[in-house]
Structure 1
């Protein structure tokens, strides 16, 4: 007869996590911009290679072919952590935000994906109906919610190690 008790190790190893190091690692990983996505966003904005080269980095690039909106599921950080997080990823975040006409933050509007209300909020803000929107995401439940409202959806497959680790942890 198999005994469950004998299968459990006699001592559980100490697993200590330095929260500060973990936070900084996560923020640094999240601050990187996927060059393929960035390039695709530039093309959607109608920016040719020459036009991109001619534009000053201070100009807002959101003025092209399509109206682009970002929906983030961010959260409120304590003030000290927020300043540090912004400092760690500020340059990348500002560069990315310039491509969008609208940047909708869940912490500010009080809604989170996959709640259909955040998609409706975004459409109302832009002045379109859901069936006029194309929603790109890497998370199936978010795509399903958008599709149920009538949006065209595109699943962005992430090939980076962080996404694989998140998928394995789920």
Structure 2
């Protein structure tokens, strides 16, 4: 297959795309604590522009304050969970086929990563020894540009963060494909003119990415 005309860049989210979704780990924590399923997800979605997650991912509060605010918010929604218990659940297992797809895309297009993250954990902006370890250390070197909410002071789904990436890559939104595991983050990308793909599972994602880019992706996990 030949690269699709008009596509110049493929832009990726990180967690839930290159790694398994943190929501799976959140559900396990909820089960351990006896909390309702998807309680953490509801806390994250409530007042999502200004809640504890939003403030932390824009680097407006530290981990201690996040711990306090998340406890307040989760308690208000019916079951107390401390923020410090949630943060270790952010990291997931690497998806080798998604990494292989990134490498294939990089051969034909510019590639970028937009990630909502925090400074103290789950951040590609950590020091070099930390960056060298784990999934992020394996994937981040392939990107031509990275925009982190904790450094940019803006987070998805704010349209400004997508525009920042387009400016870094030197492309128009209409020439971009965007992948994210959250529909709320795909919506502004689509509204800007990007071809947005919601990541549900690896097979579905690679099929949609193939249609969007004109590239062929190996349907088997690399050895």
Range of TM-score over shorter length? 0.5 to 0.7
Structure 1 Cα separation of the partners of residues 193 and 82 of structure 2: 44
Higher relative contact order (CA 8 A, sep 6+): 2
Unmatched segments (≥5 aa) in structure 1: 1-12, 46-63, 160-170
Structure 1 residue 18, shift from structure 2 partner: 8.6
Task: Select 1:42's aligned residue among 94, 100, 103.
Answer: 103
- Written as runs of structure 1 = structure 2, the 5 A alignment for 1:60-79 is 64-77=107-120
* Alignment RMSD (CA, Å): 3.2
Structure 1 residue 17, shift from structure 2 partner: 7.1
After the TM superposition, list the runs of 4 or more consecutive aligned residues in structure 1 that deviate by more than 6 angstroms.
15-21
Tell me if 1:107 matches 2:142. Answer: no
- 1:131–1:90 Cα change, 3 Å: same
Structure 1 residue 158, shift from structure 2 partner: 3.7
Is the radius of gyration larger for structure 1 or structure 2?
Answer: 1
TM-score (norm 2): 0.47
Aligned residues of 1:135 and 1:143 also touching (Cα < 8 A): yes
Aligned residue pairs total 121
SS in 1 for 2:117: coil
Aligned residues of 2:147 and 2:164 also touching (Cα < 8 A): no
TM-score (norm 1): 0.60
- Written as runs of structure 1 = structure 2, the 5 A alignment for 1:60-139 is 64-77=107-120, 87=130, 90-139=133-182
Structure 1 residue 76, shift from structure 2 partner: 2.7
Unmatched segments (≥5 aa) in structure 2: 1-33, 35-78, 203-223
